[in-house]
């Protein structure tokens, strides 16, 4: 579905992405790694928000060098770190902006069914929502674009475990209906709850791709790649 080959991104003298290779097929892929390793830059490069050199394609369509709105139209939706909801718009207005009509697979009605909290809050503004509700809104907004692939940058950040579990369940459901998922996560529990395969990012490269269960069960690997063991996270 998504193929990234030899992707490089530089900001001035800093070489942030140093030849990233990855592929996301029908099965979701998680990318884990310490802070500052280039995970967010990778999300932004795929979306066309930062300029990179290398190959990026979705279902064989070349996306490299395209503007973000064209990448979105090609079928990629990003749920950015920090959620980015508009304070002045209500929940319902946010969703109306991207609503593709009653024939689409994802409709506002379905979003409200999936996230009942949003239905309760449909008239509330973006700033009146809790962190978890804002995250649900950001995900619902991405899904209403009916994408082929969703990229999520740190969706569990700052959320209560019960909300993380609900999100993990929703994300697992997406893959069942053929939506690709690239999940960037610090939270190993979330990453391994959703994805069978985990790619580890170290200084701007994918250092290893391994079964999620193997990383989850091995504290030495966690220390080497993440700097902490998940049990003490």
> For the segment 146-202, what is each residue's pLDDT rounded down to a tens digit?
999 999 999 998 888 988 998 999 999 888 888 999 999 988 889 999 999 999 999
Q: Which domains does the chain have, with CATH numbers?
A: 1-75+180-233 (3.40.50.300)
- The predicted structure's pLDDT at residue 13: 84
Q: 2 has which bridge partners?
A: 24, 58
Residues 6+ away with beta carbon under 8 Å from 46: 2, 4, 56, 63, 71, 76, 78, 151, 182
- DSSP per-residue codes, the chain: -EEEEEEEEEETTEEEEEEEEEEE-SS-EEEE--TTSSHHHHHHHHTTSS--EEEEEETTEE-TT--HHHHHHTTEEEE-TT----TTSBHHHHHHHH---TTSSS-HHHHHHH-HHHHHTTTSBGGGS-HHHHHHHHHHHHHTT--SEEEEESTTTT--HHHHHHHHHHHHHHHHTT-EEEEE-S-HHHHHHH-SEEEEEETTEEEEEEEHHHHHT-HHHHHHHHSS-GGG-
What is the structure's pLDDT at 229? 56
**Buried b or exposed e, range 30-67, using 16+ CB within 10 angstroms:** bbbbeeebbbbbbbbbbbbebebebebbbeeeebbebe
Average pLDDT on 79-85 reads 82
pLDDT per position as a tens digit, 91-101: 999 999 999 98
Instruction: Tell me the mean pLDDT in the region 25-48.
Output: 91
- For residue 220 the two structure tokens come to 């030495």
pLDDT more than 90, % of the chain: 64
């Amino acid at each position: 579905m998504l193929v990234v080959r030899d992707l490089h991104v530089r900001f001035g003298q800093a070489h942030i992405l140093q030849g990233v290779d990855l592929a996301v097929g029908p099965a979701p892929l998680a990318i884990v790694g310490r802070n500052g390793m280039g995970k967010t830059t990778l999300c932004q490069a795929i979306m066309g928000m930062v300029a990179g050199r290398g190959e990026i394609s979705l279902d064989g369509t070349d996306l490299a060098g395209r503007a973000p709105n064209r990448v979105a139209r090609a079928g990629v939706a990003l749920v950015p770190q920090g959620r980015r909801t508009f304070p002045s718009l209500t929940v319902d207005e946010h969703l109306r902006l991207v609503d593709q009509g009653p024939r689409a697979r994802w409709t506002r009605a379905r979003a409200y069914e999936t996230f009942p909290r949003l239905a309760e809050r449909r008239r509330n503004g973006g700033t009146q929502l809790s962190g978890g509700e804002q995250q649900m809104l950001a995900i619902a907004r991405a899904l209403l674009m009916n994408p082929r692939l969703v990229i999520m940058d740190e969706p569990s950040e700052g959320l209560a475990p019960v909300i993380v579990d609900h999100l993990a369940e929703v994300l697992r459901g997406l893959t069942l209906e053929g939506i690709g998922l690239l999940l960037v996560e610090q939270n190993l529990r979330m990453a391994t709850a959703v994805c069978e395969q985990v790619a580890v990012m170290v200084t701007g490269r994918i250092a290893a791709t391994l079964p999620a269960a193997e990383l989850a069960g091995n504290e030495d690997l966690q220390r080497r790649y993440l700097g902490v063991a998940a049990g003490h996270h």
